[in-house]
């Protein structure tokens, strides 16, 4: 069957307008991507073509709630450094024939020829399903995905925009907290919760705190089973040597039973664990207080990891914008059913990104995980080789004075 023939019907004539939408969770640089899309649209779209954005992602498309973007708005000058998601988002997934009918009606009404979805691996899978449905229904509209995530779990790329900035925030915060821990001579245990549903990229990034001072004593990752008894032994061993212990634990670690720590009913009584990811600091605090009498501080770095534009990675912001610009050029060139990619240019020192594309089918439904080569044999450490991966993405880290031994 010819690609332009679907279910025996000729496709509708494609519109010339472009639709951009943000999907899933925020990042510190997703609006830099939006800025790149808007700035490039002025130069690369066909004459007379319009750029629309959907309010609150796919829900805006379902409702026909689109905003036409014009470059002359003074707010656009600030968009590149605006935190979180300027146009709103949703985690809703198209799930019914009525949903798809509404989306197709919006596409026709606004004469949309290309949709740019700025999202993570779940959004990539949803985009592929949408493209197949549009093709099956004879709607001539092409879908492209611009990746973003803080977890860094998008498959097929070196890293996704949003991750370097979240990693930078983790590194700086951990470095500052370690120094706070050493301000007093008293024994102290700090356990810090970071994001990372199924991957340890963010937790592993905390190793880079050692570039400006002490590194964490213990770093755990979801790629390894979390044994609470072993965790207590690990902490006790460090405290016995140093009088203090600093541990980093991602929200996504699981016990041997296959459950997340936040699913523990002794801490989260009466709560449905499916409602929110994370929230393991309560569990950690309860666990540690059962075994230690010294001061204990359990800290959740929280949403600031994904929306803290004030300390975003300059590398991340630049790459996010460039992917937005590239997406518009690809749309104007007729690309469809693809995701944009960032890979490392081989043999380049210092680090240099290489932008490209890959078929959506090769990434949708897949998740990247922290490579085994970076995980220590003791299962509570990260190998130094990880620094070669993460440091070029962070940008220059704040320098600090070393006045006393820590």
pLDDT (0 to 100) of residue 269: 52
pLDDT tens-digit map of 106-150: 999 999 999 999 999 999 999 999 999 999 999 999 999 999 999
How far is residue 394's CA from residue 147's CA, in Å, rounded to a whole number? 18
Residue 201 near residue 248, CB atoms below 8 Å: no
pLDDT (0 to 100) of residue 350: 81
Helix axis angle for 163-181 and 386-394, nearest 10°, is 100
Cα–Cα distance list, 193 to 196, 302, 398 (Å): 9, 8, 22
pLDDT (0 to 100) of residue 2: 41
Greatest Cα pair distance, the chain, in angstroms, is: 77
Q: Where are the domains of the chain?
A: 5-161+310-362, 164-308+370-394
Residue 363 near residue 156, CB atoms below 8 Å: yes
pLDDT (0 to 100) of residue 177: 97
How far is residue 355's CA from residue 326's CA, in Å, rounded to a whole number? 9
Show the tokens assigned to 48: 């007379």
Is residue 9 pLDDT above 60, yes or no? no
pLDDT band of residue 348 (cuts 50, 70, 90) is low
Across the range 346-352, mean pLDDT stands at: 81
pLDDT (0 to 100) of residue 379: 87
Is residue 5 pLDDT above 70, yes or no? no
pTM of the model: 0.93
Higher-confidence residue: 42 or 320?
320
Q: What value does the CA radius of gyration of the chain take, rounded to a whole number of Å?
A: 23
Q: Burial letters for 101-126: b for 16+ Cβ neighbours within 10 Å, e otherwise?
A: ebbbebbeebebbbbbbbbbbbbbbb
pLDDT (0 to 100) of residue 263: 84
How far is residue 192's CA from residue 281's CA, in Å, rounded to a whole number? 8
Across the range 40-63, mean pLDDT stands at: 95
Hey, which CATH number is domain 5-161+310-362, 2.60.450.10, 3.40.50.10860, 3.40.190.10, 3.40.50.450?
3.40.50.450
Residue 306 near residue 150, CB atoms below 8 Å: yes
Closest CA to 260 of 226, 301, 297: 226
DSSP character at residue 13: P
Cα–Cα distance list, 104 to 15, 93, 94, 247 (Å): 12, 15, 12, 50
pLDDT tens-digit map of 179-197: 999 998 999 999 999 999 8
pLDDT (0 to 100) of residue 71: 67
Show the tokens assigned to 169: 């925030």
Beta bridge partners of 212: none
Q: Could you tell me where the DSSP H helices lie in 64-138?
A: 76-79, 97-109, 121-136
Beta bridge partners of 10: 5
Is residue 207 pLDDT above 60, yes or no? yes
Residue 126 near residue 132, CB atoms below 8 Å: no
The residue annotated as part of the active site, out of 135, 151, 153, 300, is 151
Show the tokens assigned to 288: 């540690």
Is residue 10 pLDDT above 70, yes or no? no
**Is residue 217 helix, strand or coil?**
coil
Hey, which CATH number is domain 164-308+370-394, 3.90.230.10, 3.90.550.10, 3.20.20.70, 3.40.50.460?
3.40.50.460
How, if at all, do strands 51-54 and 17-22 pair?
parallel
pLDDT (0 to 100) of residue 349: 75
Equal fold, 5-161+310-362 vs 164-308+370-394: yes
pLDDT (0 to 100) of residue 75: 75
pLDDT band of residue 242 (cuts 50, 70, 90) is very high
Helix, strand, coil percentages, rounded to 5, for the chain:
40, 20, 45
Is residue 4 pLDDT above 50, yes or no? no
pLDDT (0 to 100) of residue 318: 97
How far is residue 51's CA from residue 71's CA, in Å, rounded to a whole number? 10
Across the range 208-224, mean pLDDT stands at: 96
pLDDT (0 to 100) of residue 11: 62
Helix axis angle for 314-332 and 386-394, nearest 10°, is 80
pLDDT tens-digit map of 289-321: 999 999 999 999 999 999 999 999 999 999 999
pLDDT tens-digit map of 65-99: 999 997 666 678 799 999 999 999 999 999 999 99
**Residue 151 is a catalytic residue:** yes
pLDDT tens-digit map of 262-292: 886 555 555 554 445 668 999 999 999 999 9
pLDDT tens-digit map of 357-367: 999 999 998 99
């Amino acid at each position: 069957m010819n690609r332009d023939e679907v279910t025996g019907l000729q496709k509708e004539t494609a519109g010339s307008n472009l639709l951009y939408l943000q999907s899933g969770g925020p990042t510190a640089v997703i609006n830099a991507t939006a800025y790149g899309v808007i700035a490039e649209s002025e130069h690369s779209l066909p004459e007379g073509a319009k750029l629309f954005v959907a309010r609150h992602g796919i829900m805006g498309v379902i409702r026909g709630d689109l905003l036409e973007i014009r470059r002359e708005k003074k707010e656009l000058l600030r968009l590149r450094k605006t935190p979180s998601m300027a146009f709103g988002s949703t985690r809703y997934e198209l799930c019914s024939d009525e949903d798809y009918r509404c989306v197709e009606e919006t596409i026709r009404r606004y004469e949309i020829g290309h949709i740019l979805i700025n999202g993570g691996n779940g959004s990539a899978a949803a985009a592929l399903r949408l493209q197949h449905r549009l093709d099956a229904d004879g709607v001539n509209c092409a879908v492209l995905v611009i990746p973003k995530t803080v977890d860094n779990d998008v498959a097929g790329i070196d890293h996704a925009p949003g991750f370097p900035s979240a990693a930078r925030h983790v590194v700086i915060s951990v470095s500052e907290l370690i120094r706070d821990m050493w301000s007093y001579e008293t024994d102290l245990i700090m356990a810090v919760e970071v994001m990372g549903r199924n991957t340890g990229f963010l937790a592993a990034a905390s190793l880079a705190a050692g570039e400006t001072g002490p590194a964490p004593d213990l770093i755990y990752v979801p790629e390894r089973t979390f044994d609470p008894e072993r965790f207590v032994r690990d902490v006790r061993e460090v405290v016995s040597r140093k009088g203090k212990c600093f541990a980093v634990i991602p929200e996504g670690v699981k016990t041997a039973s296959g459950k997340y720590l936040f699913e523990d009913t002794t801490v989260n009584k009466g709560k449905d664990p499916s409602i929110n990811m994370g929230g393991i600091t309560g569990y950690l605090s309860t666990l540690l207080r059962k075994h230690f009498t010294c001061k204990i501080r359990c800290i959740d770095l929280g949403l600031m990891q994904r929306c803290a534009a004030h300390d975003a990675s300059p590398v991340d912001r630049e790459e996010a914008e460039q992917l937005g610009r590239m997406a518009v050029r690809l749309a104007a060139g007729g690309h469809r059913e693809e995701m944009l990619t960032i890979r490392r240019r081989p043999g380049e020192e210092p680090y240099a990104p290489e932008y490209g594309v890959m078929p959506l089918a090769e990434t949708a439904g897949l998740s990247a995980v922290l490579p085994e080569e970076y995980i220590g044999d003791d299962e509570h450490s990260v190998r130094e080789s990880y620094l070669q991966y993460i440091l070029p993405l962070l940008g220059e880290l704040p320098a600090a004075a070393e006045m006393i031994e820590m």
